[in-house]
Amino acid sequence: MGTIANGNDSQSDISYEPIIANHKRAPVWLGVIIAFAYSMVIIFGAFGNILTIFIVLRNKSMRTVQNFFIINLALGDFMICTITAPITFFNISFTFWKYGNALCKFVSSIGGFNIFLSTFSITAIALDRYFLVIFPTQQQRQKFFSIILFALIWIISLLLSIPIVIVSSSTMFYEVEFCNLTLYLCNENELAWDKMPFSKLSYTISIIVIHYAFPIVSMVFAYTKIASRMHSRFVHRNNIKLIGEDANNRRKHVAERQRRTNFLLASLVLLFAIAWLPFNIFHMLLSLKVITYSGTLFALCHLMGMMSACLNPVCYAFFNQNFRNELFIILHKLKLRKNSNINGINRTEYSATVKRSTCMGTNNTHHKSVSTVVMPDNSLKISIDNRSISQCNLDTIPMVPILPQISNTENTLKPENILKRVGKNEIEVLLEKD
C-alpha cells in the first residue's frame, strides 16, 4: 500500500494532502478553453514580439536607445509566450513532476524572471519617455540614464528570482515500495521558506509592491507629466498668431494628435493594471491563507497576465508611425516577391513550351518562329512571322496554356477561327500570308 510523505523524512512537517485535495479536475469545456487560450498566447504573442524585434534591428535609423527598451520588452514578452506560458500550462495540466530537482528549480524561477523583465521594461519605457520629453536638451544625460535603467532591469529581475530558485524543489509525495513507484511534486518547499531570512508573506508583498504597484505609480507619474507638457506646448502654439488659410487645420491636427497620445498613454496604464491585477490578488490571498490553491483559478489569473505580453507589441510598437511604416515596407516587399515568383514560374512555363514547339509546313520545311511577350495587362501575345500559315499542321502549333480551346479535328488553321474562339482581349494572333 502506498504512503503519503507527510511524516517519514526530513520534511515531516509538510503535508501535501491539501494540494492534491484542492487540485480538482476542471470541466472538459473549461479545460478546452484554457488550452486554446494558452495556444493563442503562445502563437500570437511570440509572432508579434519577434516581429517587433526584427523591425527594430532591421532598420538602422530605429536602433536608438529608446527603441532598445522596446526590444527589451519584446524579448521579455517573447520569453513569457514561449517559455513561461507552456511551462505553466504543463504544470497545471499534470500534477506530478518527473524531470528532476534542477529542472524544477529552473522552470519555477524562469517564469518569474520573464515576468519581472517585461514589467520593469514597461516601467523603464515610461521613465525614459519622461526624461526625453521633460528634459529634451540633456541628451547625454538621457543616454547615461537609459544605460543605467537597462542594466537595472536585468539585475533586479535576476535578484528577485533567486528566492524562487532556493525554495523550489522536486519533493516526493507518494511512494509504493514493492512496485518501485514514486511520485514527486515541483513546488515551493515550506521548510525552505522557514530557513530564509524573510517569510513567504513578506516576499509576496514585496513582489506585489515592486512588480505591480511601483510600475503603475511610475507610469501614471511619467505619462501625466508628458501629457501636461504636451498640452502646454499645444496652448503655446495656439497663442501664436498663425498667418495663412491652413492655420485652423494645423491647430485641429495638433489637437487630434494630442488626444490620440493621451488615449494611448492612458491605455498603456490601464492595460498593465487590469492584466496583472487578478494574478497579484490571487497570490496575496494565497499567502494570507484566505483561499486554497486552485489550478483552474490560477490558470485564469495567469492567462490575464499573459494577455499583456500579447498586446504590448501593439501598444508600444505598432501604434508608432515608424514601426507601421517599416511593417508596411516589409509586407510590400513580401507581396512583390510573391508576385515575382508567380510571374517567374509563368514565364518559365511559356518559354519552355515555345522552345519545344515549331510550326512546319506540309509542302516545305520552313520553320515558323514563335515568340511570347508578357504584356502590361498580363495577356499573352503570340506573333507568327509572315510565312504561310494555311499549310501548317495543327499538331505542331505551340500549346501555350491559353490555347487548348482550339480544335484539333481540322487539317488547317484559319485565322478567322482562331480569332473567333480565342478572345482578342486574352490573345492576339498576327497572321500574314506570303
The whole-number pLDDT of residue 382 equals 35
Give the whole-number percent of the chain exceeding pLDDT 90.
Answer: 31
In the predicted structure, residue 392 carries a pLDDT above the cut 60: no
Domains in the chain: boundaries:
3-319, 358-430
pLDDT band at 422 (very low <50, low <70, confident <90, very high): very low
Query: Mean pLDDT, to the nearest integer, of 265-269?
Result: 87
Residue 128 near residue 150, CB atoms below 8 Å: no
The DSSP symbol for 137 reads T
Higher pLDDT, residue 189 or 174 = 189
pTM for the whole structure: 0.68
The whole-number pLDDT of residue 24 equals 58
In the predicted structure, residue 389 carries a pLDDT above the cut 70: no
Q: Give the cell for residue 417.
A: 477561327
pLDDT band at 408 (very low <50, low <70, confident <90, very high): very low
In the predicted structure, residue 172 carries a pLDDT above the cut 50: yes
Count CB atoms within 10 A of the CB of residue 429: 16
Which is nearest to 154 in space by CA: 193, 121, 105?
Answer: 121
Residue 317 near residue 52, CB atoms below 8 Å: yes
pLDDT tens profile 201-232: 999 999 999 999 999 999 999 999 988 888 78
Higher pLDDT, residue 132 or 138 = 132
Among the listed ranges 57-66, 152-161, 318-327, 362-371, which one has the minimum average pLDDT value? 362-371
How far apart, in Å, are the Cα atoms of 354 and each of 117, 368, 396, 399, 411?
62, 11, 11, 8, 21
Which is nearest to 67 in space by CA: 326, 297, 368?
Answer: 326
Alpha-carbon gap, residue 64 to 85, rounded angstroms:
30
Which is nearest to 271 in space by CA: 308, 227, 224, 300?
Answer: 308
Alpha-carbon gap, residue 70 to 413, rounded angstroms:
68
The whole-number pLDDT of residue 105 equals 93
In the predicted structure, residue 187 carries a pLDDT above the cut 90: no
Residue 122 near residue 73, CB atoms below 8 Å: yes
Q: What burial class does residue 276 get, using C-beta atoms within 10 Å of its C-beta: 0-12 exposed, 13-18 middle, 19+ buried?
A: buried
User: Quick one: angle between helices 214-239 and 101-134, nearest 10?
Assistant: 20
Superfamily of domain 3-319: Rhodopsin 7-helix transmembrane proteins (1.20.1070.10)
Among the listed ranges 31-40, 157-166, 264-273, 424-433, which one has the minimum average pLDDT value? 424-433
The whole-number pLDDT of residue 246 equals 60
What residue has cell string 484566505?
A: 290
Please name the helix (run of DSSP H) or strand (run of DSSP E) that holds residue 428, with its range, or none.
strand 427-430
The whole-number pLDDT of residue 167 equals 94
Mean confidence (pLDDT) of the chain: 74
pLDDT tens profile 49-106: 999 999 888 888 888 887 888 899 999 999 999 999 999 898 888 878 888 899 999 9
Among the listed ranges 178-192, 285-299, 329-343, which one has the minimum average pLDDT value? 329-343
Q: Give the cell for residue 47.
A: 509572432
Give, rounded to a whole angstrom, the gap between the first and last alpha carbons of the chain.
Answer: 104
pLDDT tens profile 280-300: 999 999 989 899 888 889 999
Q: What burial class does residue 254 get, using C-beta atoms within 10 Å of its C-beta: 0-12 exposed, 13-18 middle, 19+ buried?
A: middle
